[in-house]
Structure 1
Amino acid sequence: MTYDSIYNAVADRYESGMGWDEHVHVGDEESLNIAEEALGRHADSDETGLRIRDFERGETETYTFAELAAAANRVSNYLVEHTERGDRVGAMLPTQLELYAVVFGTIQAGRIYLPLAPVFGPDALNYRLEDSGAAALFTTTEGCEVVDGDLPALERVIAIDDGDAGGGTIDGGGALEGDATVDEYDAVRARDDEFETVETHPNDPYSLTYTSGTTGPPKGVPTSHRGPIELYAYSEYVVDLRPDDVYLVAASPSWSYGLTMGTIMSGVRGTAIGCYRGQFDPHAFFETLEAWDVDNAMIPPTALRQSRAAGIDLEAWDIDLRVLISAGESLDEETVNWCEDGLGAPPQDAYGLTEGGMVVCNYAFDDWDVKPGSMGKVTPGEEVALLDDDGNEVDQGEVGEIAIRRDEDARGSYWGRPEATLETFTGLWLRTGDLARRDEDGYFWYVSRADDVIISSGYRIGPAEVEEAAVVGEDHETRGQIVKAYVTLVGDHEPSGELEVELSEFARAELSKHEYPREIAFLDALPKTASGKIKRSALAE
């Protein structure tokens, strides 16, 4: 099995219009509900369908597909009574059975699931609720305290006691102020555990995921029921997800990857969902990998670097992964080697975005060569180009904007933002705003966001080429811009002029002479989005 042979075969299937997965009934263009494909068809199975590791308790919760389906059916019956088809239903909950019940229960009822991270504060939460026009919200008693009950569309809030991860009730209807009705989750538990999935069209949206908002207010991106089916090539050749895999995704369905690949595609492939609850802890995480005997995992780069920095001794753990996916940012060679030596597999970096899916990846082929720091090659079935400002493809080795070719019937949109939709989704290419270069072997290498590029003395410098912390461009009288680094210190190190010079000289020795930071500032913490991405726009300001 080689990359070229797979790419050509999948491209042929796209061109012939063939369906992807024999388990998914994509031939009937009139009806497709992805929740039925991911959970409904497993509803009578006593096989494990969901595993959750509680880091604080050190315990594992397991639920069968049948138990998960029954919980989802109760949610569906509740929503059919209190909401309308197509309504947006949010969930801001820890990783627990009820969260997954809301995901599947919302989708199979013909409603649209709105992922909301438990770490959201009032601004982030209420912005998404208002922008989406959400009609209902499932959250904890603590979450009730930050919800604006006067949101025009919000009619009902369902509260679960956050003191009991397994689900509970609240006293007195919660602390929410405003016109929205607050129900205890017992109102959901009282519903029938049988439900007939609502028929939906393949092009109907099943989720509304908001972008991270690194360059402006977050924008909602609807995903259609047919969307996960288009991830067949990624699931088959990158993740290599199998029904008997013990699968662990270090991201809950509050995030795009955790929802699509960690939850929906797990069910489509017949694989048990695996996740954890609580703040990420390297020792607890690696203990889980060993205790579960995980063979297929997705671990973000930040978690891998954090674990390595924490001094995790991989030789002390009995872990042997067949597949290790890592996405979101590039990994250094030391971390890649550390994983391959101690976990059994190198991290397969992958590049994707909410608007366009996973489009450039490394693969789970035995003979695949992982180049540390590289995004890999184009996903079979996708067409990706690097374009200049005029829309022309750049030469090999030159920096260009990553652009994804879109078919007429596969173009997306932003929720309630027609102008932004026309700007991003109109035309032959979806232009991502990310810059990359392609080497002589066809591997892509991420450079930066287009608006993060630093132009110094005529050189185009991507922050990722320089930073171990975070760098931005600062105006300079003669050079146009210089590289300015923002650094956080660990241990008992203290900011000083001497340390600034030392760091600058170190970077100068490792990087090209035009790339090293000429100014350094020390911060207690770098500004980040809720999903952990560095907000360079805040640093630039």
Structure 2
Amino acid sequence: MEERLARPWLKHYPEEIPHRIEYEEKALQTYLKEAAEETPDKPALHFMGKEMTFAQVYDEALRFANGLRGLGVKKGDRVAIMLANTPQSVVSYYGTLMTGAIVVQTNPLYVERELEHQMSDSGAKIMICLDLVYPRVAGVLKKTRLEHVIVTGIKDYLPFPKNVVYPYIQKKNTGIKVDISYNERTHAFTEFLKNNKPVPVELDIDPVEDLALLQYTGGTTGVAKGVMLTHYNLVANTTQALRWMHKIDHGNEVILCALPFFHVYGMTVGMNFSIMDRSKMVILPRFDTAKTLKAIEKQKVTIFPGAPTMYIGLINDPKVQKHDLSSVDVCISGSAPLPLEVQERFESLTGGKLSEGFGLTEASPVTHFNLMWGKRPSGSIGLPWPDTDAAVLSAETGEPAQPGEVGELVIRGPQVMKGYWNRPEDTNATFNGDWLLTGDMGYMDEDGYFYIVDRKKDMIIAGGFNIYPREVEEVLYEHEAIQEAVVIGIPDPYRGETVKAFVVLREGETLSEKELNDYCRKKLSAYKAPKHFEFREELPKTMVGKVLRRALVDEEKEKREKEAAGAKSS
């Protein structure tokens, strides 16, 4: 394949973007240390009225690291972080890396079943979680190898009087009263920091070989797998991002961090990008259009990494015109396809540039991006980043496809994972030599721009979250009234896609849509639970009895086309 790789995309690089980069072989946490030593008083983050300097974040990360060491954490151990975007997320992430331990990012939306799998598979010893999710964590303690839980709350980092008022607001909004009994296994985050000193941790780390992160993702089987990302993988991808944004004012940007840090996209282009660039993060615990608009205006946000659902929400907010968004200069869109209309409307509101990219967890995650200040073909995921090779393999021959010919997109580069945690067979099946098989079908045009046309996997992407049909189907099959079930993704104007379940009931059984909806929401995270249900007498199948998922997808497509035609004629 090497001799056929012409790299036509390189001719589009502006002179400021190098074809090759010399990456620093440093542990990721070194960038926080250097920022604290060289720019100690510079603001590192802003969170709901509270600001912290790089020196303060580093101080607390050191305290956290020494606290973990006091609990017996050593190099190679796994530490799970189950937090919304907060200062604690940054402190615990970098503090964990300082011990040589491996971060396991955990979605706070996980229910006990999902949490048990991830903790058991990773072998995590320590969990840092929000007080609101502590009951779920406590529910899996005896089923996993978790030895200690460190609990924090949003209020812990709020300024007075917000820290006093917030618990009452939280209870009103969630209906949950947080009541935790602290003991030798359950620790309060704030006390944990106070009881430890900010002493530098001496540690020998090989950035190229040593893991920094286990980031869980699904696959064709639907089983969540731990993607092994090294310090070098993450440093390389963050460096690529910094060099791609060649016109930004390095060190003086204000970066909106609304994308969750527990998602590799938000972690790389939000948190790690900000720390490495020594720019300020504006951290939002969750995306809310009104609060996001206020944050952009008040904090003068200049860089906004997001997902299409976020931009759609903002441009459709009835009060968007009342906010000054002119500070926004660069918007990075990923996780799902970006509609052209959304791009154009958001750019007109801000005056900045909104460009789409592509990536996957196994690549830290970014591999392709459109130029921020250059040619941006409609529908394209853009050009491969520096040092990133991409090719499309013909489905018929397995060889590089001709321009315009659809095949499977394959990737290689310094950001590509070592493999899947404790899953050598899955790792081997995902690589062809040093090429990562993405499972995405697409093509490259004659100019070197890449396009995605379909997914080889049946994965559903809703609001930037990956949903694997088999996982949802297994939950449906657990219901005693259900005989058969199949799940597909259907278009959604806000989330990109949403989940629809087709269900066949056992003979003599009855089940309402509401009952099934309630059942799914108890068993699945909210974003995975089906939003639409259809009860059927039977499902389309092959002669050997395999459900024809594609037939259902085609049925839905035909139904939408007929509805659109009917609306147009009326």
Same fold (TM over 0.5): yes
Alpha-carbon distance, 1:482 to partner: 6.6
- CA deviation map 1:464-492 (0-9, x unaligned): 99996569999599x984744669xxxxx
Alpha-carbon distance, 1:443 to partner: 2.0
Alpha-carbon distance, 1:11 to partner: 7.1
Larger deviation: 65-74 or 368-377?
Answer: 368-377
Matched, 1:61 2:50: yes
Aligned pairs for 1:256-335 (under 5 A) are 256-278=264-286, 280-311=287-318, 313-314=320-321, 316-335=323-342
Alpha-carbon distance, 1:197 to partner: 4.5
Alpha-carbon distance, 1:182 to partner: 1.6
Q: Counterpart of 1:396?
A: 403
Aligned pairs for 1:26-175 (under 5 A) are 26=25, 32-43=26-37, 45-52=40-47, 54=48, 60-82=49-71, 83-147=73-137, 148-161=140-153, 164=156, 166=158, 173=181
The separation in 1 between residues aligned to 2:105 and 2:246, in whole angstroms, is 23
The separation in 2 between residues aligned to 1:507 and 1:200, in whole angstroms, is 62
Q: Counterpart of 1:204?
A: 210
CA contact (8 A) 2:358 2:366 kept: yes
Q: Counterpart of 1:247?
A: 255
| Aligned partner of residue 150 in structure 1, secondary structure | helix
Matched, 1:184 2:188: yes
Superposed CA RMSD in Å reads 3.6
Alpha-carbon distance, 1:71 to partner: 0.8
The separation in 1 between residues aligned to 2:400 and 2:15, in whole angstroms, is 21
CA contact (8 A) 1:437 1:444 kept: yes
Change (3 A) 1:501 1:426: closer
Letter in 2 for 1:276: L
Give the total of aligned pairs. 463
Alpha-carbon distance, 1:3 to partner: 5.9
The separation in 1 between residues aligned to 2:125 and 2:246, in whole angstroms, is 35
Alpha-carbon distance, 1:65 to partner: 0.5
CA contact (8 A) 1:43 1:66 kept: yes
Aligned pairs for 1:378-527 (under 5 A) are 378-389=384-395, 390-405=397-412, 412-452=418-458, 475=540, 481=551, 483-484=553-554, 503-505=563-565
Letter in 2 for 1:334: E
CA contact (8 A) 1:401 1:434 kept: yes
Alpha-carbon distance, 1:435 to partner: 1.1
Alpha-carbon distance, 1:158 to partner: 1.2
The separation in 2 between residues aligned to 1:230 and 1:194, in whole angstroms, is 28
Change (3 A) 1:216 1:503: same
Letter in 1 for 2:29: A
Letter in 1 for 2:133: G
Change (3 A) 1:414 1:506: farther
- CA deviation map 1:22-54 (0-9, x unaligned): xx4x3xxxxx321012345424601101122x4
Change (3 A) 1:463 1:435: farther
- CA deviation map 1:311-343 (0-9, x unaligned): 454474242322111011111121111011111
The answer for unaligned runs of 5 or more in structure 1 is 27-31, 55-59, 454-461, 488-496, 510-541
Letter in 1 for 2:300: D
| Aligned partner of residue 398 in structure 1, secondary structure | coil
CA contact (8 A) 1:385 1:403 kept: yes
The separation in 1 between residues aligned to 2:492 and 2:43, in whole angstroms, is 45
| Aligned partner of residue 197 in structure 2, secondary structure | coil
CA contact (8 A) 2:128 2:150 kept: yes
Alpha-carbon distance, 1:309 to partner: 3.4
Letter in 2 for 1:73: L
The answer for unaligned runs of 5 or more in structure 2 is 1-8, 168-177, 460-487, 503-538, 543-547
Change (3 A) 1:243 1:217: same
The separation in 1 between residues aligned to 2:124 and 2:413, in whole angstroms, is 29
The separation in 2 between residues aligned to 1:210 and 1:187, in whole angstroms, is 27
CA contact (8 A) 1:219 1:414 kept: yes
- CA deviation map 1:107-137 (0-9, x unaligned): 0111111111222221222221111000000
Q: Counterpart of 2:379?
A: 373
Change (3 A) 1:347 1:5: closer
- CA deviation map 1:182-212 (0-9, x unaligned): 2222133210022235231112011111115
| Aligned partner of residue 120 in structure 1, secondary structure | coil
The separation in 1 between residues aligned to 2:391 and 2:567, in whole angstroms, is 32
The separation in 2 between residues aligned to 1:135 and 1:342, in whole angstroms, is 47
Letter in 2 for 1:204: D
The separation in 2 between residues aligned to 1:200 and 1:110, in whole angstroms, is 7
The separation in 2 between residues aligned to 1:347 and 1:214, in whole angstroms, is 31
- CA deviation map 1:350-391 (0-9, x unaligned): 0011112311111223xx122333211121221101112342
Letter in 1 for 2:352: A
The separation in 2 between residues aligned to 1:213 and 1:306, in whole angstroms, is 29
Larger deviation: 39-48 or 395-404?
Answer: 39-48
CA contact (8 A) 1:49 1:63 kept: yes
Alpha-carbon distance, 1:13 to partner: 3.4
The separation in 2 between residues aligned to 1:215 and 1:306, in whole angstroms, is 32
